[in-house]
Amino acid sequence: MRIEPRISRPAVALIAAVVGAQPVFAAGGDDALFTFFQMDQNEIRVGEHNGYVAEAQGWVGTDFHKAFLKTEVETEFGEGVEVAEVQLLYSRLISDFFDAQAGIRYDFEPHTSRAYAVVGLQGLAPQWFEVDTALFLSEKGDFSARVEAEYELLITQRLVLQPLVEVNVSFQDVDELDIAAGPTSAEFGLRLRYEFFREFAPYIGVAYERDLFDTADIARDHGEDVDALTFVAGIRLFF
Amino acid sequence: MVSLARFARSAAAAIAVAALSFPFAVAAETYNLSIGETTLDASGTERPALAINGSIPAPTLRFQEGEDLVINITNTLDVDSSIHWHGLILPFEQDGVPGLTFDGIKPGTTHTYRFPAQQSGTYWYHSHSGLQEQEGLYGAIIIDPVGREPFRYDREYVVVLSDWHDSPADDILANLKKQSDYYNYQQRTLMTFFDDVAEMGFGAALSDRLDWGEMRMTPTDIADVSGYTFLVNGRNPAQNWTALFEPGERIRLRFINAAAMTFFDIRIPGLEMTVVQADGNNVQPVKVDEFRIAVAETYDVIVRLKEDRAYTLFAESMARTGFGRGTLAPREDMTAEVPDMREPPILTMADMGHAHGDMDHGEMAMDHGAMDHGPMNHGDMGGMDHSMMGHGDGGGDPFYAPGSGLAPTAANGGRFLSYSDLKAQKPLYPWRPADREIEIRLTGNMERYFWSMNDLKYSEAEPIRLHLGERVRFKFVNETMMTHPMHLHGMWTILDVGAGKWNPAKHTVSIAPGTTVYADIEADAEGKWAFHCHLMYHMATGMFREVHVVRDPETASLDQGDGHAH
Amino acid sequence: MFSTLQYSAATLALIASIGLGAGAVTAAGDDDGHHHGGDMRMAGVPGHADEATRSIEIAMHDNYYEPETIDAKAGETILFVITNHGSVVHEFNIGTAAMHTAHQEEMAMMVDHGVIEIDRINHDMMDKDMGGGHVMSHDDPNSALLAPGESAEVIWKFTEARPLEFACNIPGHYESGMMGDITVTP
């Protein structure tokens, strides 16, 4: 089950990824272009926050070379967009289960817009943990990191419980963002979905977000909540 | 099989109406076929499909051994198409693999194939373009021998098995690429975990889950695609394809697995079947209660129907995702009981190529004592030791890993055909030791859904070069957890079943997970040939090679096998 | 005189039991002509050369006979001259369908134990004691077991008008069609 990704033609593949699909045919064409898009979170949150949250990722590419898009949007009813983040990455398969990724991230919100360089690893770890890790370097020279892990617990063939954890870390204080060095925030989610189809899976669940350590202290100083428990309901989409 | 097919002689057109039993018996030497669009309602929904002369399966072509064939194929689609003559020995330019042996048949054009029928038996034909075969472009070929058939039977029926999907084949592939277990609705769940705990205790159940979790693989991964409706001669189980007989008759059934992705376990409850031909070549008759037919294989069996009653022809998919069904009956509208499907197989660590708990992916191959004996045993076939033939590891089928979860057993507890039962009736080639051995490791990436040989996809690999006249031994090592029916075009694959000169010549050899299988190739056909896994989505995603048979041995010696050092 | 090229003259007394399974065993020396699956006399009795009124040549091929039909009269003795033109071992055996069915199990056992191989017969193993005094011999007077290229004669007297078959009971051969019909008319 060992694979040896070939270094050849990543640029060509990426251009092909942008230009369009090539046909699959029997003798050859095993390097055809495919696409993927999934909204893992597409939900209304109610509780200590009330708003709409979307988290999606998609790709266009071949087995070894892909162009990846990851995006996250959080809105607060009555307040507008709280978080809006887009990542555009080149993704290369480097082992049976993992892709190395590099590219840019752009945050439209919160506060001021900001660009980052991104390097990361995304894939499937032993025991079926889907992990996505990334290191970010902002245009201001700040380093931060994010680790996400989720698990798909099949209760039946179609009823799936998905625990999720995301931890953000900053390697220095970033005053404009009210962030202190160290772990800054974490999010825990537990979503129970029913897959009528792979493409369409309504779900309910809970999400708990919390600022951590010194970052939490900053929030407290500002008189803000440091955590928020919300109930979520949404529809996971896949196409 | 409800079709009207036209076979026109170059001068006078002849029209043959499809009869249920002998669909098309035409002595003409020119055949006209037309590839076009149609619709098929196999699952209760009318879906777009592809057909030849409006028929799914395509019309059965009946040739005479020695006949010089002229076959005109008109492509009325708006995309390229092609027809490959599966198992036929012919000049490579006539083999019908677009991009390799010809340019394909362009939309709106007619391509003429010309080649002599130089063999006899049951074969089939299908599109080799894109994923068209899945959508209906497949049909049977019968070539009658010059002399008499070395059997006695009163009637014969072609039984074309196939798997129909309501989704277009391109969508299926796209879904597999997005999520490789998209179609697996037989996953292990919390519920099945509780069952396992009840059965084996919490510790063992957890340990088993962790073992598979460590590999990130699932033991219920038997078939990549589910949602198929299984067809027998184009009829779904409810439509119940029926073959008529008179009590007391012998019937020859020519089974062809034209499915894209599905292995079938075939039985006719109440009847013993005598296997007389495999992949078009007669074999020494074997009486069995059940047999497994890999994708692209053919088996001819003779059954004797002594009683005045109906019999169900039952073809369960190997993953037990469904079944094909037909009936053998003395009169129309008679049916017999349709059995329940058995439990799906569960892969074991043996299928992963290692003993339970051993996570070493390095050495997955398991050589079978029964097959892995050197040339010295072959010389003296008179002294063939029958104790080798599968009895060595407790009577298990040597073509499955010892302890395999895939190894089949007959539903009635009787005999299940093994490759080791297959012995050539008349060997096509005298036995001789191979000039060299080429290792073909069957590899792939389950999670990302692409497949390869020796870790290289077709697009990454050099052709395998053979030189004309040599005998090459292919050592197939299946390092994946799937079963791969490997098909070499243009030349016979002489499967080593441990029977020396009696080893059967096949066109498709199925390699089970965790096994090593040897087969000899007599490189007697110059040209560029396709060599691939016949699971459609494995072939399309890289498990494909060109095999170049060249006259100049110096050119051939430049490359051994893949020619890649890695 | 009704010996084959391979065997010493067979007599009824030499009908040895072949089956190793306890159930189907007839004791060696049981000379009443009983055979598994039926009384051999249902098919007729061994004939004598001087009684034979005609001879019929039977060609064995892989896996069929030429001819495939024979007509005989009750009371008639026929000399069958059988030649194996094939490349594998074949049998010529006169009997009822039930006799053949029973005999097929014995032949399967002989193949399983290596007494009969694809293209040769291990005569030395036939005489070997397989335990319990049973030997795997094949020398019934109504039959001939021939390796490729071998010939044999069987002289058989048809006694009663009934349908009979001649058959090769090597596993699978009968079922795939290596059998012929004998019509015995009064």
pLDDT in tens, A162-203: 999 999 999 999 998 899 999 999 999 999 999 999 999 999
Q: Decide if B97 and A27 are in contact by the 8 Å CB cutoff.
A: yes
CB B298 within 8 A of CB B277: yes
pLDDT for residue B121: 98
Write out chain B residues lying below 8 Å of A197, CB-based. Answer: none
What's the whole-number mean pLDDT along residues B110-122? 97
The four Cα atoms B365, B371, B374, B380 give a dihedral, to 10 degrees, of: 180
CB B474 within 8 A of CB B487: no
State chain B's mean pLDDT as an integer.
87
pLDDT value at B296 more than 90: yes
Q: Decide if A128 and B216 are in contact by the 8 Å CB cutoff.
A: yes
Residues of B with CB under 8 A from a CB of C: 148, 150-153, 250, 272, 274-276, 284-287, 302, 304, 381-382, 384-386, 423, 425-426, 499, 502
Rounded CA-CA distance B213/B229 in Å is 31
pLDDT for residue B377: 37
Chain B closest CA to C88's CA: distance in Å? 8
Write out chain B residues lying below 8 Å of A4, CB-based. Answer: 455-456, 566
What's the whole-number mean pLDDT along residues C155-179? 95
Distances in Å between the Cα of B34 and the Cα atoms of A228, B13, B49 are: 66, 15, 14
Q: Decide if B445 and A3 are in contact by the 8 Å CB cutoff.
A: yes
| Among B130, B187, B457, beta carbon nearest to A24 | B130
Question: Is C67 in the B-facing interface, judged by CB distances under 8 Å?
Answer: no
Tokens 């010809």 belong to B102
Q: Decide if A34 and B174 are in contact by the 8 Å CB cutoff.
A: yes
Tokens of B416: 């299940």
- B211's enclosing H/E stretch is helix B202-215
Chain B closest CA to C173's CA: distance in Å? 6
What part of B 236-275 touches A (C-beta under 8 Å)? none
Q: Decide if B287 and C88 are in contact by the 8 Å CB cutoff.
A: no
Question: Is C66 in the B-facing interface, judged by CB distances under 8 Å?
Answer: no
pLDDT for residue A231: 98
Count, residues in chain A? 239
Tokens of C37: 């699956």
Q: Decide if C176 and B426 are in contact by the 8 Å CB cutoff.
A: no
pLDDT value at C97 more than 60: yes
Residues B193-212: tens digit of each pLDDT: 999 999 999 999 999 999 99
pLDDT for residue C134: 62
Q: In degrees rounded to 5, what are phi and psi of residue A229?
A: -105, 130
Residues C58-96: tens digit of each pLDDT: 999 999 999 999 999 999 999 999 999 999 999 999 999
pLDDT for residue C130: 60
Binned at pLDDT 50, 70 and 90, residue A110 comes out as confident
Q: Decide if B190 and A126 are in contact by the 8 Å CB cutoff.
A: no
Enumerate residues 6+ apart whose C-beta is below 8 A from A185: A167, A168, A209, A210, A211, A212, A215
Second-level CATH architecture of C9-176: Sandwich (2.60)
Question: Is B12 in the A-facing interface, judged by CB distances under 8 Å?
Answer: no
Q: Among residues B106, B127, B113, B105, which one has the least CA distance to residue B58?
A: B127
Tokens of B150: 């070395």
Cβ count within 10 A of residue B232: 28
Q: Decide if A25 and B129 are in contact by the 8 Å CB cutoff.
A: yes
Closest C-chain CA to B287: C172
pLDDT value at B565 more than 50: no
State chain A's mean pLDDT as an integer.
89
Residues B345-363: tens digit of each pLDDT: 999 999 987 643 333 333 3
Write out chain C residues lying below 8 Å of B385, CB-based. Answer: 114
**Alpha carbon B510 to its chain's center:** 7
Write out chain A residues lying below 8 Å of B450, CB-based. Answer: 30, 63
pLDDT value at B21 more than 50: no
Write out chain A residues lying below 8 Å of B444, CB-based. Answer: 1
Closest A-chain CA to B444: A1
Rounded CA-CA distance B416/A216 in Å is 68
Tokens of B243: 């073959």
Query: What are the residue ranges of helices labelled H in A32-178?
Result: none
Binned at pLDDT 50, 70 and 90, residue A17 comes out as very low
Rounded CA-CA distance B374/A215 in Å is 71
Q: Decide if A26 and B98 are in contact by the 8 Å CB cutoff.
A: yes
A139-143, A198-202, B364-368, C76-80: least confident range: B364-368
Write out chain B residues lying below 8 Å of A65, CB-based. Answer: none
Q: Decide if A126 and B448 are in contact by the 8 Å CB cutoff.
A: no
Closest C-chain CA to B391: C112
Q: Omega of the bond prior to B57 within 30 degrees of 0, cis?
A: yes
Decide which of B159 and B18 is more confident: B159
**C–B touching, 3+ CB–CB pairs within 8 Å:** yes
pTM (2 d.p.): 0.87
Write out chain C residues lying below 8 Å of B380, CB-based. Answer: none
Percent of chain A with pLDDT over 70: 88
Decide which of B258 and B375 is more confident: B258
ipTM score here? Answer: 0.89
How many Å from the N-terminal Cα to the C-terminal Cα in chain B?
50
Closest C-chain CA to B427: C87
pLDDT for residue C155: 96
Binned at pLDDT 50, 70 and 90, residue C133 comes out as low
pLDDT for residue B354: 61
A132-146, B106-120, C97-111, C132-146: least confident range: C132-146
Q: Among residues B359, B357, B394, B389, which one has the least CA distance to residue B373?
A: B389
What's the whole-number mean pLDDT along residues A139-161? 96
What's the whole-number mean pLDDT along residues B520-534? 97
- DSSP helix/strand/coil, A179: strand
Rounded CA-CA distance B21/B25 in Å is 10
pLDDT value at B285 more than 50: yes
8-state DSSP, B345: P
Do strands A98-109 and A80-93 pair parallel, antiparallel, or not at all (unpaired)?
A: antiparallel
**Alpha carbon B59 to its chain's center:** 20
Q: Decide if B284 and C172 are in contact by the 8 Å CB cutoff.
A: yes
pLDDT for residue B46: 96
What's the whole-number mean pLDDT along residues B308-314? 98
Write out chain C residues lying below 8 Å of B304, CB-based. Answer: 175
Chain B closest CA to A13's CA: distance in Å? 13
Write out chain A residues lying below 8 Å of B566, CB-based. Answer: 4
Write out chain B residues lying below 8 Å of A28, CB-based. Answer: 99, 458-459, 544
Residues B319-334: tens digit of each pLDDT: 999 999 999 999 999 9
**C–A touching, 3+ CB–CB pairs within 8 Å:** no
Closest C-chain CA to B300: C176
pLDDT for residue C38: 53
pLDDT value at C33 more than 80: no
| Among C68, C114, C172, beta carbon nearest to B286 | C172
Decide which of B273 and B376 is more confident: B273
Percent of chain B with pLDDT over 90: 83
Rounded CA-CA distance C137/C44 in Å is 21
Enumerate residues 6+ apart whose C-beta is below 8 A from B476: B440, B442, B486, B509, B511, B516, B517, B518, B519
Write out chain B residues lying below 8 Å of C171, CB-based. Answer: 285-287
Write out chain C residues lying below 8 Å of B289, CB-based. Answer: none
Q: In degrees rounded to 5, what are phi and psi of residue A81?
A: -75, 125
Question: Is B448 in the A-facing interface, judged by CB distances under 8 Å?
Answer: yes
Chain B closest CA to A200's CA: distance in Å? 13
pLDDT for residue C18: 37
Size of interface B-C (CB pairs under 8 A): 64
Decide which of B318 and B365 is more confident: B318
Residues B482-500: tens digit of each pLDDT: 999 999 999 999 999 999 9
Domain boundaries, chain C: 9-176
**Alpha carbon B137 to its chain's center:** 16
Cβ count within 10 A of residue B29: 15
pLDDT for residue B2: 31
Q: Decide if A25 and B480 are in contact by the 8 Å CB cutoff.
A: no
What's the whole-number mean pLDDT along residues C91-119? 93
pLDDT value at B392 more than 60: no
Packing angle, helices B202-215 and B190-200, rounded to 10: 130
Cβ count within 10 A of residue B374: 8
Chain B closest CA to C31's CA: distance in Å? 32
pLDDT value at C185 more than 80: yes
Closest A-chain CA to B546: A27
pLDDT value at A4 more than 80: no
Binned at pLDDT 50, 70 and 90, residue C136 comes out as low
Enumerate residues 6+ apart whose C-beta is below 8 A from B174: A34, A35
Binned at pLDDT 50, 70 and 90, residue C39 comes out as low
